[in-house]
Amino acid sequence: MELLKQRILQDGHATEDDVLKVDSFLNHQMDIALLNEIGKEFRRRFEGEPVTKILTIEASGIGIAAIAAQHFGNVPVVFAKKTKSRNLDGALYTAQVKSFTKGIDYEIQVSQKFIGPDDCVLVLDDFLAKGQALKGLLKIVRESGAKLAGCGIVIEKGFQDGGKLLRESGVRVESLAIVSSISGGKVTFAE
């Protein structure tokens, strides 16, 4: 997605530890017009999929998913929670996730009330690095008995192996920008 790539080149910052910082438009301050174009592009790529729910993970996935949902007929957005909360009652789907950016393990949780066998789920997230967050979300979709439409990612870091491993396992992964390198502070794209 050209608009997104240009924005990454303009405002993204590569850190020495393989993290691409995009907090001026995606991870902290959010550019809503850009998120709207991202939502449209996800819709174009998943055209024809009978999506009934979008599943994402807090925090950065929520804004992306909420705006994308408007291009999928306002389907509900469910976000996996990273911390236990008194608001979360009843039976839960859970999965262990290793955080790429924080270097810790945590458990993600989704109430069983909100995803079930009648759903067709589109999973969305901001970044794909080693694939840990997506793997956790996919485990939850599997356990729910829902059909998986696929995964939509805003920025995939193609120099880490998450995307490759997920695609090899048969999961449809659509990434709007695939970064092939951020070494020396210079961002380059795969295509």
Site of interaction with ligand 5GP (CB under 6 A): 19-22, 27, 60, 100-101, 125-133, 157, 162
- Work out the number of other CB atoms within 10 angstroms of the CB of residue 137: 28
Query: Which C-beta is closer to ligand 5GP: that of 111 or that of 160?
Result: 160
Q: Which residues contact 103 (CB under 8 A, 6 or more apart)?
A: none
Pairing type for strands 92-98 and 105-111 reads antiparallel
Of the pair 73, 170, the CB lying nearest ligand 5GP is at 170
Task: Name the minimum Å distance from CB 59 to ligand 5GP.
Answer: 8
6: CB partners within 8 A, 6+ apart: none
Q: CB of 157: closest distance to ligand 5GP in angstroms?
A: 6
Indicate the residue among 10 and 74 with the shorter CB distance to ligand 5GP. Answer: 10
- Compute the least distance from the CB of residue 115 to ligand 5GP, in Å: 19
> Residue 46 or residue 127: which is nearer to ligand 5GP going by CB?
127
* Least distance CB 171 / ligand 5GP (angstroms): 13
Cβ neighbours of residue 77 under 8 Å, at least 6 residues apart? 53, 54, 55, 56, 62, 65, 66, 69
Closest approach of ligand 5GP to the CB of residue 3, in Å: 19
Q: What residue type is assigned to position 1 of the chain?
A: M
Nearer to ligand 5GP, 21 or 48 (CB): 21
